[in-house]
Amino acid sequence: MRPTIYLVDDDPDVLVATQRLLVSAGMTVAAFQSARTFLEHYDTATPGCLVLDLAMPEVTGPELQRTLAQRDAPLPIVFLTGRGDIRACAQAMKDGAVDFLAKPADDADLLNAVNHALAKAAVLQRERTTRSRTESALARLTVREHQVLVHVVAGRLNKQIAADLGTGEKTVKYHRGNLMRKLGVRSVAQLVRLVQHAGVGAPGADN
Amino acid sequence: MGWIDTAWPMVGATSLTLGIIYLLIWLRQRSQYGYLWFFVTAASVAVFSLFELRMMRAAAPDDYAVTLRWAHVPVFVLFLSIVGFIRLYFRTGRLWLGYAACGLRAVSLVLNFRTGVNINFEQVTAMTAVPAWGGESVHLPVGVPNPYAIVAQLSNLLLIAFVTEASIALWRRGDASARRRAAVVGGSMFLCLVAASALAILLNRGLVRIPTAVSVAFLGVVVAMAYELGWGVLAAAGLSARLRVSEDRLRESEHRLELAASAGELGLWEWSVAADEIWTTREGRALFGYDAHERVDLKRFLSSIHPDDRAAVEQDVRAALSKGGSDFEQDFRIVLPDGRLRWVSSRGRIDRDESGAATLMRGVTHDVTGRRQAEERFRTLVEAAPSAMLVVDTEGMITLANARAVTMFGYARQELLGRPVEMLIPGRVRSTHEAHRQAYREEWRPRAMGSGRELFAVRKDGTELPVEVGLNPMQTFEGRFVLASVVDVTERKRSELETARQRDEMAHLARVAMLGELSGSLAHELNQPLAAILSNAQAAQRFLAREPPELARVTEILADIVKSDKRAGEVITRLRSLLKKEEPQHRPLDMNELVQEVLALMRSDLLNRQIGVRTQLAPRLPAVSGDRVQLQQVLLNLLINGCDAMSGRVAQGDVIVRSESAAGRGVRISVSDNGGGIPPADLERIFEPFVTTKAQGLGLGLAVCRSIVRSHNGRLWAANNAGGGATLTVELPAADRLLPSI
């Protein structure tokens, strides 16, 4: 799926010009004059990045950045601003912006930043795919398999798990085989990494 | 005793009584010698009547002769008294006739004693008894007549002639009372004297034999005289009664006059020219400072006059006295004994005799010091006034001009007085001024001339000067006048211009400082189109580099580049106009448009500061006459202040800009913030220079704003909002109200 460059700037002249520049570089661009119209149209499934103006009426650039972070959108942000001060820049970077460009920005700088953002978006997109796949695999585990998974990730032996769960070692072994197949891993190390990545399997399950 | 013995004494008594009555009158009025002569006449007749009775009763011829001789004595006195009475009473009669009659009678009196037994008889030989009426008898003489009796008879004739001539003269003189006197007194005297003389001759010659009744005839004379004198007494009594009434009236009117004079502090005076004595009332003496009993003559009068006025007064007095001179009328100063000066006004009228020479001058003098002082004060005030003062009559003629008017207009005072005031008005407005002057006669109240108009006056040399003119109507007893005070405002105009220049300079400085504050925002405003241009240009390069080049897109891009370039140019123009130092130019402005322009300038600053601005602009505002840049500056300043008041506050609202037409007052623009408001004590103070509530800032902004607004004849004020924050409001008059009124 081709990534989309989202543009948000309240100044129509700047918006159109920036859009043209990106189009001339062969990119797919969606331009919006306000944060609100952007949010109305944005789909997190679409890969891409956001070139965002800092100062805008109603919803500002940093506000939009926070909103997207809350929604966990895989949308790296390049700030493009006419009057960025250092404070605003530092805050934006801290909040995960890819780059912070001052207007007028040279095409090379802008395209560079956009490409960076797109690369990051690709990574994010991949991670997001992996995670969603893991999540769906995890969702397919039975309750017993899930219990076994938590114990395996915690590093316990089959015998210990069987004792803990009050069942036979064989049964544990059977569940373990099933869950590793369902999650598509061949080693415990692989399993651990996957679970860590997915952020699941917090040991609170024993309670 | 017979009736003759009763009748003759009665004749005497009657005569004497009448005589005594007039003697008593004479004693009270000694100047009336007519009464005295009458008494003598009456007394003589009374005495003669007694002699006559004794003659009629004389039995012996000697007795008769002696009695008759002495009887001539009262007759002589009678002669004198008649002549005297006629002379005094008739004021006519030939004196020589009277003297001749008296003289001849005196001669006959001498002969009476020297010849014969008396003037009538040489010798009386016998007495004969003659019967009379009522069984009475009287004695009559028989004797030889004295030849000298002719002298006595001649004197009788002369007396008759004298009386007759005097009576005719009196009759001829004319008036009714004189004729009555001539007829009654003169006529009866004539008849009685003729009768007495004739009787005497007839008796003496023995031609008739009747009682000697000469005294009875004389009694007729006495009665006629008494009757006539009675008229005189009656007339005098009537006259004196009338005199008393008129004296009372005179006294009353004198009293009234004095009362009026003293109430009006008028000094009445009267100068007898011949006697050179001046009489004055008590008030008059007090007025001149004379002592109560001091004798005042012309010299004393002149000495009381101020030396500077003395000659003029003396000359006027002399002129009034001269034949054909008119009344005396003069205002002059007198020096009082204590050295004080007093202004008096004196008028006098001359009485003249038949020859036209002045006999009396009388008049009235009153104190006019107060009026003179008021006049003097008025004159001094007007003269010393720092502005030019002109008094103009209803015909537009200058009747008074002060020293400042002379220097201001360059005319000599004589060149101004009596000339039309329009000579001081520039030719181009002269005719309208006349119309204005006519209109002012209807209006007639104090006011400034030509309010709202620039007024000019013209000097003698033709140069003009800007002036302000105050008009004041004056109603005097001489008619209506207008007092115009003219102030030369050249200096003030100059200093006004200087003030305006300084204000503009200050406004410019404040503007530059304010734009410095806004520089970040303005740079951004410029950056936007520049950014658009750059991106467009680089995009175009790429489209052109494509194979084939996408020319359609490039055309589109170039159009946008031109648009953005223009936009950048506009920003710069706007900025330059704000930074430029130019004379303010007043043009009709739409304040809503100005609000929008200012908001555009501040756009990025507002965005950056996260401050929203809401506008509530009334449609169809009346135009305001003003300088665009200066009014933009005011609005910018108010907006920046509003934003400053809002920044850093959590509960943010919007800055609200409202425009409305203020009923009858033009246009109101208000900027409301939602900040902390202004301490009530500072609501006015914030407009003072160097008063600021901000950490940085010179505190000039609002002071400059107010001076700008005032130079536009508007108002700028601050008030706190009920719901928090403050509102600053500018009120500017609508343009049509500023159109010059001609």
- Average pLDDT estimate for A163-168: 86
Chain B neighbors of A21, CB-CB under 8 A:
535-536, 538-539, 542
Structure tokens at B523: 């740079």
CB-based contact (8 Å) between B563 and chain A? yes
**Confidence band, pLDDT 50/70/90 cuts, at residue B373:** confident
Q: Which of the residue ranges A192-201, B445-454, B470-479, B521-530 would you say has the lowest mean pLDDT?
A: A192-201
**Most confident stretch, A176-180, B120-124, B668-672:** B668-672
Q: CB–CB of A107 and B538 under 8 A?
A: yes
User: Of A13, A14, A21, which has the smallest distance from its Cβ to B538's Cβ?
Assistant: A21
Give the chain A residue whose CA is nearest to the CA of B608. Answer: A55
Residue reference for tokens 């223009």: B566
A-interface mutation test, from B521, B535, B554, B615, most A Cβ less than 10 A away = B535
- Report yes or no: A51 and A75 within 8 Å, Cβ to Cβ: no
Say what percent of chain A tops pLDDT 70. Answer: 94
pLDDT at A4 over 60: yes
User: Of A17, A55, A56, which has the smallest distance from its Cβ to B535's Cβ?
Assistant: A17
Structure tokens at A124: 């994010």
pLDDT at A198 over 80: no
**A·B CB contacts under 8 A:** 85
Contacts of B125 by beta carbon, 8 Å cutoff, 6+ apart: B61, B142, B143, B144
* DSSP per residue, B416-431: HTTSBGGGGS-HHHHH
- Average pLDDT estimate for B311-335: 85
- Report yes or no: B510 and B640 within 8 Å, Cβ to Cβ: no
Tell me which fold the domain A4-133 belongs to.
Rossmann fold (3.40.50)
Residues of A with CB under 8 A from a CB of B: 10-11, 13-14, 16-18, 20-21, 23-25, 55-57, 60, 82-83, 103-107, 110
pLDDT value at residue B263: 66
Could you tell me the CA-to-CA distances from B588 to B453, B594, B623 in Å, in that order? Answer: 20, 12, 6
User: Of B527, B528, B607, which has the smallest distance from its Cβ to A57's Cβ?
Assistant: B607
* Minimal CA separation from B612 to chain A, in Å: 8
User: Of A10, A14, A17, which has the smallest distance from its Cβ to B539's Cβ?
Assistant: A17
Domain boundaries, chain A: 4-133, 141-206
Chain A neighbors of B603, CB-CB under 8 A:
none
Instruction: State the Cα–Cα distance between residues B594 and B612, nearest whole angstrom.
Output: 18
Instruction: State the Cα–Cα distance between residues B485 and B401, nearest whole angstrom.
Output: 10
Q: Which of the residue ranges B280-284, B350-354, B735-739 would you say has the lowest mean pLDDT?
A: B735-739
Q: Which of the residue ranges B104-108, B144-148, B229-233, B481-485 would you say has the lowest mean pLDDT?
A: B229-233
Burial of B714 (0-12, 13-18, 19+ CB in 10 A): buried
Chain A neighbors of B612, CB-CB under 8 A:
57
CB-based contact (8 Å) between B652 and chain A? no
* Minimal CA separation from A47 to chain B, in Å: 24
Map out the domains of chain B with their CATH numbers.
Answer: 3-237 (1.20.1070), 264-372 (3.30.450.20), 385-488 (3.30.450.20), 498-738 (3.30.565.10)
Q: CB–CB of B528 and A16 under 8 A?
A: no
Q: CB–CB of B532 and A14 under 8 A?
A: yes
Cα angle B9-B13-B16, degrees, rounded to a multiple of 5: 135
Instruction: State the Cα–Cα distance between residues B325 and B316, nearest whole angstrom.
Output: 9
pLDDT value at residue A207: 35
Instruction: State the Cα–Cα distance between residues B186 and B182, nearest whole angstrom.
Output: 5
Strand arrangement of the beta sheet that strand A28-32 belongs to: A28-32, A4-8, A48-52, A77-81, A99-102
B-interface mutation test, from A7, A8, A9, A13, most B Cβ less than 10 A away = A13
* Minimal CA separation from B573 to chain A, in Å: 19
Question: Residue B296: what are its φ and ψ, rounded to 5°?
Answer: -115, 125
pLDDT value at residue B181: 82
**Confidence band, pLDDT 50/70/90 cuts, at residue B261:** low
Q: Minimal CA–CA distance to B670: which of B606, B609, B721?
A: B721
Q: CB–CB of A55 and B567 under 8 A?
A: no
pLDDT at B579 over 50: yes
Average pLDDT along chain B: 85
pLDDT value at residue B565: 93
Q: CB–CB of B532 and A20 under 8 A?
A: no
Q: Does an H or E element contain B668, and which?
A: strand B666-672
Assign B125 to helix, strand or coil: strand
pLDDT at A203 over 70: no
- Average pLDDT estimate for B78-86: 88
Level-2 CATH architecture, domain A141-206:
Orthogonal Bundle (1.10)
Contacts of B394 by beta carbon, 8 Å cutoff, 6+ apart: B441, B479, B480, B481
Chain B neighbors of A60, CB-CB under 8 A:
610
